[in-house]
Structure 1
Amino acid sequence: MGSPTIAVLRQKIHGLSANDYATALRDELPEIDIAVADTPAAERELVASAPIVTGYDLDAELIETAENLDLFAGVYAGVDHLPLDTFEANDVAVTNASGVHGPNIAEYVIGAILSHVRGFPRARRQQEQRTWQSYPARELQGSTVTVVGLGAIGSAVVDRLDPFGVETLGVRYTPEKGGPTDEVFGFDELHTALARTDYLVLACPLTETTRGLIDSEALLTLPTEAFLVNIARGGVVDTDDLVSALQANRIAGAALDVTDPEPLPEDHPLWGFNTVSITPHNAGHTPRYYERTAEILADNIDRYRNGETDFENRVV
C-alpha cells in the first residue's frame, strides 16, 4: 500500500491547535501527506476523501459520507464520546491515545500526594496570612497506596511510586492478569483493598461497573486518614457522598482533577473545603501531548501500509 493522506481535524486539544498536531505528525512521518482543513467545508471535503482521519471527534453523518475512510485515530484515551457503532457499521477501525497521558498524569498524582503529605496547602494558607506557625507533617514512606485501574496511567503512577518505599495495591477488572502493584484485587474485593489504604488513586475508565464506585460505603471503609486522588472521571465518585464524608471528617481530604458535575458550579460545597484541591480537568495537559500522539499514529501508519489491521490501541 502506498503513502496515504492523513486528514487532521480542526479541533483544538488542551490549547494545542490542529497545526501543532500536523507539525508533530510531519516530524514523525515526513513522507506522508498531512492535510489540515481551515474551514468546515474544507474539512468535510477532506474527510470524504482521506483514508485516515485523526482528531478528537467525528460526526456520524460525516462517517457515512467518508467512502475511503479506513482508520480514525482518536487523540483522547477515552472513546465514549465517539459514534463507535457508526464506525463499526462502516468498517472503519478506531484507535485511541492510551498511554499519552501516563507521564504527565502520574506526575500530577505524585504531586498531589506529596502536597498532602507535607502539608503544602496549609503552608500556602499561612503564607497568605503571613503567619509563622509550625504544623505536623507526615511521611509517604511506609504507607499503602491503592490504584484503581492498572492501564497505562495507573501503571505509570505505580512506577513513579516505587522510589518512595510504599506498599501498592491494585484493583482491576482482570486480577488474574496481575500487574505492577504488590497485590492485585478484583472489583469484587474493592473493600478489602480500601480498608488497608492510606492514599486512593482512581485511574479507571467510567463504565457501568465504576460509576459511583466510591460511594458512602467505600468512603466509610477507607481509614479516616485516607486521602483520595481522582484523575479518572468525576462519575467514578458519588459527589454527594464525598461531600458528606468530608463534612464528617471521615476521610482526610481529596485532590480532584475531575468532578461530577463538570465544570463544578461556583456555589458547589466542594470548593469550600481546605482539605480539597480542585483542578479544571487539566492533569493530562502537556506540551508533548501531540508528540506522543503522533508516535502512536506513526507506528499504526507502518502497519496500515503493510496491510495489517492489528493497530496499536485499537478499540473498534
Structure 2
Amino acid sequence: MTDYGSDTADDAADVLVLRKGTHGIPIERYADALRDRLPDRTIRLARTPSEEREAIRHAAFVTGMVLEDDLLEVAESLEVFACAYAGTGHLPLDRLEEREVAVTNASGVHGPNIGEHVVGAILWSTRRFHVATRRQRRREWRHYQAHELQGSTVTVVGMGAIGRAVCTRLEPFGVETIGVRYSPEKGGPTDEVIGFEEGPFHEALARTDYLVLACPLTETTRGLVDREALVTIDPNATIVNIARGPVIDTDALVDALRSNWIRSASLDVTDPEPLPEDHPLWNFGNVQITPHNAGHTPEYYDRLADIVAENARRFGADGSDGELKNRVRL
C-alpha cells in the first residue's frame, strides 16, 4: 500500500517516488515494482504536490521523471536522484552538481522495445508495406516491387544501450553494420566503427542503405543529417530516427524526399515536435511517422525498478554514492 504519512528526518522513506508517470502507465506500478524488489525498505509514493514538497524535505534517495527547481529547493537531505528517463537534459544538472547530488539515469530500459521498433521500421521500408497498405485500402490487387534487407549496409549512429540493442537484433538479417560514436577506438558490436568527423561519416553515408539515428542530441549531433549528408547518402537509403528531431535538418529532409534523394524515412521524433497538422512531412507516402512512441513498453517500470532498486541497495549499504549504476557525469 502507498505510504501517505508525513516524514520527519527520523522516519523518511528509504526511496521516495515522485508523482509524475510516463507512457500513460500509472506511477503506482513503478512504486509497486520497487516494493517487490526491496521488501525490507520503505518505498513512499507522493501523489500530490504538497506531499512531494513535504516528503522530499528529508529524503536522501529520490526517483522520478522530473525534478522541478522549486522541489529541489526544499530537498534538504537529497543525495541521490534516480532519473526515470534515459535522458537527463531536462534536469537542473548545474544545481544538482552544486549540491553534490549523484544523478543516475534509465539507460538500458529501452533497448528491447526501441530495437524492435527500428527493425520494424527497416522492414516496413524494405518490403514496402506502405505501398501494400495503400493498395489494400483501395482494394487493389496489383503487384509491386520490393527490396531485400540481406546484404545491405546499416549505419547506426550512437553506440549506447539502444544502438547496441539495434545491432544485436540486426545480426540474423545478414547485414553489414557501421557504428558511429564519439570514441571509435572503443569499438562496438558492428563490423566497422567510425567517429563523427565529416570525412569518415560522409564516406560511410555514401555506402549506407539504412541510417539509424540512436544518439543523444548534442552540439555535435544537432543537424548532423543536413543537406550535405542527404545529398551524399545512397539515394536508395532509408533513414530511421529514434534519437531526437533536431538531429535531422527538417527542411533539408523535406527537400530530399521531394527530390528523391532518399527512398524513405521513418520518424519517431520530429523537429518541431509535435509535428504541426499542416506540416508537409505528413503528406509523403514514403514517410512513416510515429508520435515519439518507440519508447513505449509495458515492461518500462519493471526494467527501471531493476536499476533503481539495485542502486538503492548499494546506497543503503554504506550511504555511499560512488558505485551507482548508470551514474551521470555532471
What TM bracket, shorter-length normalisation?
Answer: over 0.9
2:195 aligned with 1:198, yes or no? no
Q: Hey, what's the Cα distance between the residues in 2 that align with 1:83 and 1:17?
A: 25
In the TM superposition, residue 4 of structure 1 has moved relative to its aligned partner by 5.5
Task: State yes or no: 1:123 paired with 2:132.
Answer: yes
Q: Answer yes or no: is 1:52 the counterpart of 2:61.
A: yes
Report the more deviating stretch, 87-96 or 2-11. Answer: 2-11
Counterpart for residue 287 of structure 1:
298
Q: What does residue 96 of structure 1 align with?
A: 105
Please state how far the C-alpha of 1:298 moved relative to its aligned partner. Answer: 1.3
Q: In the alignment, residue 324 of structure 2 is paired with which amino acid?
A: F
Could you tell me which amino acid in structure 2 is paired with residue 235 of structure 1?
P
Per-residue deviation, 1:3: 9.9
Q: TM-score, normalised by structure 1?
A: 0.98
For 1:66-92, what per-residue CA distance to the aligned partner results, in whole angstroms no more than 9, with x for missing partners? Answer: 111110000111111000011111111
Pairs within 5 Å for 1:107-256: 107-188=116-197, 189-256=200-267
Q: Please, what TM-score do these two structures have when normalized by structure 2?
A: 0.94
Contact persistence 1:10–1:17 (CA under 8 A): no
Quote the offset at 1:310 in angstroms: 2.1
Pairwise CA distance, 1:267:
0.1
The number of aligned residues is 315
Q: Does the aligned pair in 2 maintain the 1:3–1:32 contact within 8 Å?
A: no
> Greater CA deviation, 296-305 or 174-183?
296-305
Which runs of structure 2 are paired with 1:31-70 in the superposition (5 Å)? Answer: 31-70=40-79
Deviations 1:200-240 (A, max 9, x none): 00000000000000000000110110000000000100000
Aligned 8 A contact 1:145 1:168 in 2? yes
Residue 104 of structure 1: how far off its partner (Å): 0.2
Q: Which runs of 5+ in 1 are unaligned?
A: none
Deviations 1:253-282 (A, max 9, x none): 100000000000000000000000000001
- CA, structure 1 residues 296+3, in 2 after alignment: closer, same or farther (shift >3 Å)? farther
Once the two structures are superposed, the pairs formed by residues 234-313 of structure 1 within 5 Å of their partners are 234-307=245-318, 308=320, 309-313=322-326
Shift of the alpha carbon at 1:62?
2.0
Amino acid at match of 2:261: R
